[in-house]
Structure 1
Amino acid sequence: MKVTITKAYSGFTLIEVMITVVIVGILASIAYPSYTKFVAKGARADALAGLMNVANRQEQYYLDHKTFTKNMKKLGFSVDGNGNFVVENGFYKIDATVANANRYTIEAKAIGVQATRDTECASIEITSDGVKTPSDCW
């Protein structure tokens, strides 16, 4: 009687591992752009809230002083070295431009990684007339 001993191998072959790596790579290449777009849109929401906050404080300042101001400190905001208000998440800085006593433009500019991540909405504005540009970013 002849006895044969067989070994049971367990594990993955190199081909199976490579196929798995390719599939994961394809899924990552599809998912990553969607993820960065989602993160950029979330950071943009903080800028929009900041713009509306500045606009509301401009209107209150106008009621009290009969003029608008470009000085963010007068509106009650803490400012950076350039006199700009930086939103809470740190991805946008907000600056007010006063054309005359009755008109203003408030602009949020993307800074840091947000400037490259969200190029379509790197600059978002609202005016004293309520015009919001670019409209796709609101």
Structure 2
Amino acid sequence: MKQPTLKACRKGNHGFTLVELMIVVVIVAILASIALPSFLEQINKTRRADGTSKLLEIMQAQERYRTTEFTYTTDLTELGYTVDGDGDATSDEGYYSIAASACGDGIATCVQLTATPQNAQQDDACGTLSLDSTGLRTKSGSPPIEDCW
């Protein structure tokens, strides 16, 4: 039996045409355009957990402070947090700036904590997140509150 020569193996056209390659590129582009927004929203959701967990942590510190001082505080250094020049604390990952302010009848009875998105989180659809000592959770963005908290 005779071995096929190299010339016999190259009989047909092997490889991809430009049209086939362009079809693959278009399909990949369509899949990427669908997947990328979902991926970015998941990243924002993960970063949002940084802000909400810090709000809850500081609110717990506020409640402990109130049990001994009979008032809340807007000065987060009294709770043991490091603050910037504006008096705001930073979340653990640095995606939110946390501020405290009086609400309702004053600081003795109510405090509101506000988490403002910073750096890469600024484009988050939920916007600024807030929590007050009555347990009210709010946000400034358009998604439903359940999606943001």
TM, length-normalised to structure 1? 0.89
Percent identity of the aligned residues? 37
Name which of structure 1's ranges 25-34 and 121-130 shifts more when overlaid on structure 2. Answer: 121-130
Secondary structure of the corresponding residue to residue 74 of structure 1: helix
2:116 is matched by which residue type in structure 1? K
Q: Aligned partners of 1:57, 1:49: CA distance in 2, in Å?
A: 13
CA-CA distance at 1:11 after TM superposition: 2.0
Please list every run of at least 4 consecutive aligned residues from structure 1 whose deviation after the TM superposition is greater than 4 angstroms. Answer: none
- Equivalences for residues 1-138 of structure 1 within 5 A: 7-8=10-11, 9-98=13-102, 99-116=106-123, 118-119=124-125, 121-134=126-139, 135-136=145-146, 137-138=148-149
Aligned partner of 2:128: which letter?
Answer: S
Once the two structures are TM-superposed, the CA of residue 112 in structure 1 deviates from its matched residue by: 1.6
**Residue type of the alignment partner of 2:138:** T
Amino acid at match of 1:101: A
Q: How large is the RMSD of aligned CA atoms in angstroms?
A: 1.4
In the comparison of the two structures, how many residue pairs are matched? 132
Q: One-letter code of the match for 1:86?
A: T
1:115 offset after TM fit, Å? 1.3
- 2:73, 2:48 → 1: CA distance? 24
> Structure 2 unaligned runs (5+)?
1-6, 140-144
